[in-house]
């Protein structure tokens, strides 16, 4: 008997022992959403909820009525006077939406761009005109890297063709006046509330909660000390000190005056602080948010004598690239470690940035990533770039639970291992205790965008850590959960411009194309008839698409490219791969086979094409790949598109003369796929990529041994596809993705006759990729344990 009900039971049972088996799947408990939201809201300061529309700027009387004004409605800003020398200033400011439009061809565009990335979110960055948007979060980020309210408005005014509109100035003031004024600093393992303005501290101390948390050692209430500087701090791998030149030369041309003025005072500038009890930190932090004075976290790692130093440095041969240096200088700008997120495209060396940061902090480091594969990759990268002893690196996954030798070291694990709240095995419970019991100097979070907010809360509350660094390629999500990350981890410290990196040769230049495959008539009529998820299967399996795929593989193999074909739909993946006789990897592929295929793909010149399911979206590092074909994808996910593109950005051959990597997206015409496809591309288009539409592949029909050329074989094929069960139409669920996990956690309702439900339809129940967990679980844990014991 196998009913939805018993299935749920099975699931629950499986889940209880899931932890043992899973290292890839992220907790997908159904959490009380309301509760979580409430918690998060409590963490957000008032400023985060502000919007530019709160500051009305529209004044109907000022609009110069004119023949075409009505086309723009409220968006006619002709009332903003142009400055006399507007031609030499590069930006316009939109008073209603807080958008900046930047002339990227202006002589001072580069400085302006640096400045705008610091204070605003990049919206689109094609070749000539860029757009940025001012948000409370971006301003929070600006403040946390040390920009001040007046600096921001001044510089903006200097760059702008129009005077800074009142609404924008107000938003900047509102958001920045309270942000960043108070810092929570960990020095010698004592928590201090620090501020440059004694009056603010006085104000805080008037609050009973905060007063209660203060450590009274009989001395002065507020202790002044010297402001931190980056003097003497060197980020390994760079020639310069952060903060001194690294940061200033970005704004040099623009805010030079300010800096000059400041230099004199800087030396003597002082900060004031009082100490609070460690156990009260969380309360104080919450209270500060309520008081609208959110605290920035900084870790004065150089003065931390309590936590032992870790012996780690970059190898002398390791050199980091200018943009990596720039991102790190934002993090260590004042000689302390700020928490935050660094956004770099895939293939631009995020790992190295993380490792360099760890080498700068030189304290015990916890690295969290999304899968055990990337755990191994991180370990290998640490050994490759830095001089750390292998014994100091520990790996904590379902299979491996080691500790590092000595009193400081690095632990690399996955989010699910650490955030797991369910019962653990003895070993992992011990390991968790070890992680919980100690203080971590540095928490490195890989691929932060994929992890749901509640999991972060879990991680952050279980692990005592001083500085957090999130790394990601795409800070976009279809559910707007990204914003919360800013307050859970820290502001976005740096975001690279894809096109710039491509021009400088750090990442490959990619030709993107969308290939429109007409649905063959038979498939289309079935498509119109179907209502369910099978539609997705039909457009994925469209014979014209198979042909296009075959053609493109042949074409690019002849060119000498290494090709990865992506499909989210495992059924399609397998069918395509078997038909075209290529190896494939999906969630269910065993580790050995997986490694074998990857190895062959990298080194065997006879194997140039490989099919990958969603498991290959992130973290699989294949510098050999130069061409990518996408046959089925996760609906309209912009992030997946960007992640997949990332697979070819690090192409080894990228610096060859005239080298282009290719990214094809095969889309069945006149289906939902077209809609999703447009949506998916949006992020990359905003980054300046252009998708060329190919409606006809030249010479495809003349190709020999083209599959499904005649109608009979197509009908036969259609029949097979229709026979495929509903389950096959479901996209592979590889977790690690809140957008998916949340939806798949919902109950599934299926209809069917009692007979069919009870298996009377002559159908055998095969558990096929219900989830990757199930797949891993081919061996009963009992046997596994037995085997383990036996082996030992």
Phi, psi of 310 (to 5 degrees): -105, 135
Give the separation between CA 771 and CA 760, rounded to whole angstroms.
Answer: 25
Cβ closest to another protein, residue 160 vs residue 195: 160
- What is the C-alpha radius of gyration for the chain, rounded to an integer number of angstroms? 28
Q: Compute the least distance from the CB of residue 114 to another protein, in Å.
A: 21
The CA–CA distances, whole Å, from 501 to 326, 648, 660, 704 equal 13, 14, 14, 40
Do β-strands 121-124 and 91-93 pair in parallel, antiparallel, or remain unpaired?
unpaired
Cβ closest to another protein, residue 87 vs residue 429: 87
> Which are the contacts of 4, defined by CB distance < 8 A and separation ≥ 6?
747, 748, 749, 750
Give the separation between CA 405 and CA 500, rounded to whole angstroms.
Answer: 42
> Which are the contacts of 729, defined by CB distance < 8 A and separation ≥ 6?
532, 533, 534, 535, 536, 537, 569, 571
Neighbours of 513 (CB within 10 A): 17
Question: What is the token pair recorded at 773?
Answer: 């967990």
Name the helix (H) or strand (E) containing 369. strand 365-369
Cβ closest to another protein, residue 1 vs residue 693: 693
Cβ closest to another protein, residue 77 vs residue 251: 77
Q: Compute the least distance from the CB of residue 689 to another protein, in Å.
A: 7
Cβ closest to another protein, residue 512 vs residue 625: 512
Give Dmax over CA atoms of the chain in angstroms. 92
Cβ closest to another protein, residue 70 vs residue 531: 70
Cβ closest to another protein, residue 92 vs residue 396: 92
> Which residues are near another protein by CB under 8 A?
65-68, 71-72, 75-78, 80-82, 86, 92, 94, 96-97, 99, 101, 105, 124, 126-129, 131, 161-162, 685-686, 688-693, 695
> Which are the contacts of 283, defined by CB distance < 8 A and separation ≥ 6?
209, 213
Cβ closest to another protein, residue 68 vs residue 712: 68
Cβ closest to another protein, residue 86 vs residue 599: 86
The CA–CA distances, whole Å, from 322 to 460, 506, 649 equal 31, 10, 18
Q: Compute the least distance from the CB of residue 516 to another protein, in Å.
A: 8
Cβ closest to another protein, residue 78 vs residue 778: 78
Give the separation between CA 729 and CA 575, rounded to whole angstroms.
Answer: 12
Give the separation between CA 630 and CA 540, rounded to whole angstroms.
Answer: 10
Cβ closest to another protein, residue 576 vs residue 664: 664
Q: Compute the least distance from the CB of residue 754 to another protein, in Å.
A: 36
Q: Compute the least distance from the CB of residue 271 to another protein, in Å.
A: 42
Q: Compute the least distance from the CB of residue 529 to another protein, in Å.
A: 18
Q: Are 587 and 769 spatial neighbours (Cβ–Cβ below 8 Å)?
A: yes
Give the separation between CA 435 and CA 623, rounded to whole angstroms.
Answer: 34
Q: Compute the least distance from the CB of residue 82 to another protein, in Å.
A: 5
Q: Compute the least distance from the CB of residue 440 to another protein, in Å.
A: 42
Q: Compute the least distance from the CB of residue 690 to another protein, in Å.
A: 4
Q: Compute the least distance from the CB of residue 122 to another protein, in Å.
A: 12
Angle among Cα 60, 61, 66 to the nearest 5 degrees reads: 80
Q: Compute the least distance from the CB of residue 165 to another protein, in Å.
A: 11
Cβ closest to another protein, residue 131 vs residue 325: 131
Measuring CA to CA, which residue among 581, 690, 507 is closest to residue 126?
A: 690
Neighbours of 577 (CB within 10 A): 20
Name the helix (H) or strand (E) containing 11. helix 4-16
The CA–CA distances, whole Å, from 570 to 541, 566, 633 equal 11, 10, 11
Q: Compute the least distance from the CB of residue 688 to another protein, in Å.
A: 6
Left, alpha or beta for 73 (phi > 0: left; psi -120 to 50: alpha)? left
Give the separation between CA 506 and CA 408, rounded to whole angstroms.
Answer: 34
Q: Compute the least distance from the CB of residue 563 to another protein, in Å.
A: 23
Q: Are 271 and 194 spatial neighbours (Cβ–Cβ below 8 Å)?
A: yes
Measuring CA to CA, which residue among 411, 350, 366, 387 is closest to residue 621?
A: 350
């Amino acid at each position: 008997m196998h009913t939805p009900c018993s299935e749920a039971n099975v699931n629950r049972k499986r889940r209880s022992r899931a932890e043992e088996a899973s290292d890839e799947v992220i907790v997908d408990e159904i959490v009380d959403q309301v509760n979580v939201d409430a918690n998060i809201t409590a963490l957000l300061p008032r400023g985060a909820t502000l919007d530019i529309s709160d500051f009305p700027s529209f004044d109907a009387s000022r609009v110069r009525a004119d023949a075409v004004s009505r086309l723009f409605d409220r968006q006619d800003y002709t009332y903003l006077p142009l400055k006399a020398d507007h031609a030499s200033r590069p930006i316009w400011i939109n008073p209603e939406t807080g958008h900046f439009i930047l002339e990227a061809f202006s002589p001072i565009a580069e400085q302006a761009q640096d400045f705008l990335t610091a204070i605003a979110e990049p919206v689109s960055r094609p070749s000539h005109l860029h757009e940025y948007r001012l948000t409370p979060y971006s301003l929070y980020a600006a403040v946390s890297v040390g920009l001040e309210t007046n600096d921001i408005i001044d510089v903006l005014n200097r760059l702008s063709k129009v005077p800074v509109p009142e609404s924008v100035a107000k938003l900047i003031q509102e958001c920045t006046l309270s942000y960043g004024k108070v810092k929570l600093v960990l020095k010698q393992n004592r928590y201090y509330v620090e501020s440059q303005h004694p009056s603010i501290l006085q104000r805080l101390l008037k609050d009973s909660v905060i007063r209660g948390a203060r450590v009274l050692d009989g001395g002065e209430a507020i202790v002044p000390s010297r402001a931190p500087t980056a003097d003497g701090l060197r980020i390994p791998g760079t020639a310069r000190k952060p903060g001194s030149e690294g940061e200033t030369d970005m704004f040099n041309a623009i805010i030079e005056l300010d800096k000059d003025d400041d230099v004199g005072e800087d030396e003597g500038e002082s900060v004031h602080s009082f100490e609070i009890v460690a156990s009260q930190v969380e309360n104080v932090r919450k209270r500060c948010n309520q008081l609208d004075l959110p605290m920035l976290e900084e870790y004065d790692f150089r003065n931390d004598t309590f936590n032992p130093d870790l012996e780690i440095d970059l190898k002398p041969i390791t050199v980091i690239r200018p943009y990596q240096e720039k991102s790190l200088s934002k993090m260590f700008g004042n000689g302390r470690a700020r928490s935050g997120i660094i956004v770099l495209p895939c293939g631009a060396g995020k790992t190295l940035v993380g490792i360099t940061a760890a080498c700068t902090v030189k304290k015990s480091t916890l690295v969290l990533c999304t899968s055990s594969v990337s755990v191994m990759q991180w370990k290998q990268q640490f050994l490759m770039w830095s001089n750390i002893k292998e014994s100091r690196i520990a790996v904590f996954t379902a299979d491996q639970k080691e500790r590092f030798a000595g009193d400081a070291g690095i632990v690399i694990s996955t989010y699910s291992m650490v955030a797991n709240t369910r019962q653990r095995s003895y070993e992992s419970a011990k390991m968790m205790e070890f992680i919980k019991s100690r203080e971590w100097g540095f928490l490195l979070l890989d691929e932060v965008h994929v992890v749901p907010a509640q999991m972060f809360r879990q991680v952050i509350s279980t692990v005592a850590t001083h500085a957090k660094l999130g790394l990601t390629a795409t800070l976009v999500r279809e559910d707007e959960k990204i914003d919360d990350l800013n307050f859970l981890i820290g502001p976005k410290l740096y975001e690279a411009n894809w096109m710039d990196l491509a021009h400088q040769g750090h990442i490959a230049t990619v030709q993107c194309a969308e290939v429109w495959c007409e649905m063959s008539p038979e498939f289309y009529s079935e498509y119109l008839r179907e209502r369910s998820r099978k539609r997705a299967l039909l457009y994925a399996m469209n014979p014209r698409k198979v042909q296009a795929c075959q053609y493109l593989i042949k074409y690019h193999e002849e060119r000498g490219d290494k090709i990865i074909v992506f499909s989210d739909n495992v059924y399609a993946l397998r069918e395509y791969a078997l038909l075209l006789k290529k190896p494939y990897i999906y969630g269910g592929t065993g580790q050995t086979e997986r490694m074998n295929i990857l190895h062959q793909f990298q080194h065997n010149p006879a194997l140039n094409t490989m099919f990958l399911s969603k498991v290959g979206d992130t973290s699989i590092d294949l510098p050999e790949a130069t061409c990518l074909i996408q046959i089925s994808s996760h609906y309209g996910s912009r992030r997946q598109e960007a992640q997949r593109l990332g697979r070819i950005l690090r192409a080894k051959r990228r610096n060859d003369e005239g080298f282009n990597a290719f990214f094809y997206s095969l889309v069945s015409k006149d289906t939902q796929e077209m809609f999703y496809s447009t949506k998916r591309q949006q992020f990359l288009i905003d980054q300046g990529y252009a998708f060329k539409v190919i409606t006809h592949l030249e010479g495809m029909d003349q190709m020999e041994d083209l599959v499904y050329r005649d109608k009979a074989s197509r009908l036969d094929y259609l029949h097979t596809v229709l026979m495929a069960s509903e389950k096959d139409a479901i996209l592979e669920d590889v977790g690690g993705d809140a957008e998916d996990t949340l939806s798949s956690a919902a109950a599934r309702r299926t209809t069917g006759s009692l007979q069919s439900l009870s298996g009377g339809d002559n159908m055998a129940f095969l558990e096929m990729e219900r989830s990757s967990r199930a797949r891993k679980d081919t061996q009963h844990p009992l046997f596994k344990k037995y085997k383990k014991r036996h082996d030992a």
